[in-house]
Amino acid sequence: MDSRNLIKNRRISYQWRLFIPMALTLWITIIGMAWFQVSRVEETRKQMAIDQLKSIAGRIVEAFETNIDPEPFMDFMNRFYARAHDYDELSIVIRDTATNKVISRRGPVILFHPSQLEGRKGVIHINNSTDGTPMDCLYYSAFTPQQEEVVYVFLPYTKKLAETISQKARNMWFIFIIVGLVATILTYISSLYVGRNIRLLGDFARAASDPSSEGLNLDSDSFPHDELGDISRQIVKIYAQRLSEMNRREREHRVALHAIEEKSRIKRDLTSNINHELKTPIGIIKGYVDTIIDTPDMDSETRDRFMHKTQENVNRLIALISDITAITKLDNGEKLINVTDVNFHDLIFTLSNDFEESNLFEGKMTFSFDVPLNCEVFANEALLTGVISNLTRNAMLYSQGTECVLEYIDEDEDFYRFRFYDNGIGVPPEHLPHLFDRFYRVNAGRARNAGGTGLGLAIVKVTIESFSGTIEVDNRQPSGLQFTFTLPKYKKT
């Protein structure tokens, strides 16, 4: 495995590439907000304690304003805050501003000098009364209205008080951590959700771009039902439609190519067969003519017989060329004669009379038909006449039967169905699939002697199909050959 494949295999999935930056951004934001809020909590708790001291000092100042002895209130404050663990070391000092003497003191002794508090608020550093070590105090001071007294309220910032304030801060940290974990889980679920969509699209893209892939088994319902899933399904649908269209075009191309190849093969076979079929009558004609020319003293009887044979082969040659011309035009789709309304009953009736008047069957065979009156088909009258004539002539020449019949079978919305059959010997089953092939003869020698070109049934099939009909052939029971064909109905608009 080369380095590029190794890097590709170790590449982090889109889900993690989406989740990791989001989680890092989330935690940086939460930690920053938590730090800011915890700092504010500590300051806020201190400010709340100072506000409490301010309230106590204010109540004492109010007592002086109303000439009420502040001692009872101070006693109440001591008793009240003694029960509060955070304020049990609260200290209140009232000082005479003129003499700097302490008028009253409640709570633990706080050693301080008035100069320490001038211009200071909130927090001061003073010495411990017991051992003289420095300590922090939260304090507040207020003057009486005549500024004869000043009230100091102290609350030592002891370890216990600090723990109380920091406990609140730790609680804030705990809340932010819980929020961060919940947000991280939600972020992971979201990235998993989006990553699954991307992974499915990636699988689809790799399968679509892989020439060796035999097909996509991706179900569009695998995508989530959201906007990205809808887009993914549209992409899969568009690709499936384009793939189907490409496959359809490829099939059409193969069919067209096969048709072209088949047409070329038929033309090659036709050309080869034409050359073969033309050589025989031309050779016979040339032989008789050369013999007549080279034998000037030939008796009249022999000369007449040779001329008669020459005429027969000339007629055969003319019939062959006529059939070749007809089938070529049909193959090329030439519409030299309009396709229109043809009364099939009248056409068969006319043909039957022509057969009888021309003594076509020479008393060896009869022709009958059963076609409904006003049976109107959409066809070309001349070509349809040729179809029935070819079938009849084929039966007369090769069936060895005594009758041939054309009859109506049934119909549907678009087509009539007919059958043409004789009571002759039929054909061996192995020849049935080839009866419509061009120049195909069950018995080549007997067919040529009968004057056939080998194109009659091929012309019948091509003609019927040019009318959008179908034709089939099979042996009839108990004997004979049967052709079943359809012709389109003529529909008046």
Residue 13 has which token pair?
């999935």
Q: What share of the chain is helix, strand, coil (3-state, %, to 5)?
A: 60, 15, 25
| Pair (344, 293) in one structural domain | no
- Report the pLDDT value the prediction gives residue 333, as an integer from 0 to 100: 57
The pTM for the full model equals 0.42
d(CA 274, CA 493): 44
In a domain, 146, yes or no: no
Q: Which pLDDT tens digit goes with each residue over 345-354?
A: 999 998 888 8
Nearest to 482 by CA among 415, 410, 407: 407
CA 233 from chain center: how many Å? Answer: 7
Q: Which of 315, 333, 351 is the last residue of a domain?
A: 333
The mean pLDDT value for 371-390 works out to 88
Residue 6 pLDDT greater than 50, yes or no: no
> Do strands 366-370 and 122-127 pair parallel, antiparallel, or not at all (unpaired)?
unpaired
- Residue that has been written with the tokens 């040339």 in this structure: 286
In a domain, 124, yes or no: no
Kind and range of the H or E run holding 324: helix 300-331
Query: Which residues on adjacent β-strands are paired with residue 472?
Result: 484
Nearest to 152 by CA among 54, 295, 258: 54
Mean pLDDT of the chain: 77
Structure-model confidence comparison of residues 462 and 344, the more confident one = 344
In a domain, 52, yes or no: no
Comparing 5-14, 153-162, 254-263, the range with the smallest average pLDDT is 5-14
d(CA 93, CA 126): 15
Residue 144 has which token pair?
């009486």
Q: Are 166 and 157 in contact (CB under 8 A)?
A: no
d(CA 154, CA 137): 6
Q: Which pLDDT tens digit goes with each residue over 78-89?
A: 677 666 666 777
Q: Which pLDDT tens digit goes with each residue over 114-154?
A: 666 654 566 666 665 555 667 777 888 888 877 788 888 88
- Report the pLDDT value the prediction gives residue 200, as an integer from 0 to 100: 73
| Pair (323, 443) in one structural domain | no
The CATH number given to whatever domain includes residue 445 is: 3.30.565.10
Query: Which residues on adjacent β-strands are paired with residue 376?
Result: 343
In a domain, 412, yes or no: yes
Residue 406's contacts (CB-CB under 8 Å, 6 or more residues apart) are 348, 367, 368, 369, 370, 371, 388, 391, 418, 419, 420
Residue 415, classed as helix, strand or coil, is strand
Comparing 59-68, 81-90, 230-239, 346-355, the range with the smallest average pLDDT is 81-90
The whole domain housing 241 covers: 219-333
Residue 202 pLDDT greater than 50, yes or no: yes
| Pair (483, 341) in one structural domain | yes
- Report the pLDDT value the prediction gives residue 447, as an integer from 0 to 100: 46
| Pair (327, 395) in one structural domain | no
In a domain, 147, yes or no: no
Residue 159 pLDDT greater than 70, yes or no: yes
The number of domains in the chain is 2
- Report the pLDDT value the prediction gives residue 416, as an integer from 0 to 100: 95
Tell me whether the omega of the peptide bond preceding residue 134 falls within 30 degrees of 0, making it cis: no
d(CA 472, CA 485): 6
In a domain, 208, yes or no: no
Which of the four pLDDT bands, split at 50, 70 and 90, describes residue 189? confident
| Pair (304, 388) in one structural domain | no
Q: Which of 282, 308, 333 is the last residue of a domain?
A: 333
Q: Which pLDDT tens digit goes with each residue over 272-294?
A: 555 555 666 677 677 778 888 88
- Report the pLDDT value the prediction gives residue 119, as an integer from 0 to 100: 46
Give percent above pLDDT 70 in the chain: 72
Q: Are 58 and 211 in contact (CB under 8 A)?
A: no
Residue 422's contacts (CB-CB under 8 Å, 6 or more residues apart) are 365, 395, 399, 401, 403, 404, 405, 476, 480, 481
The mean pLDDT value for 407-430 works out to 92
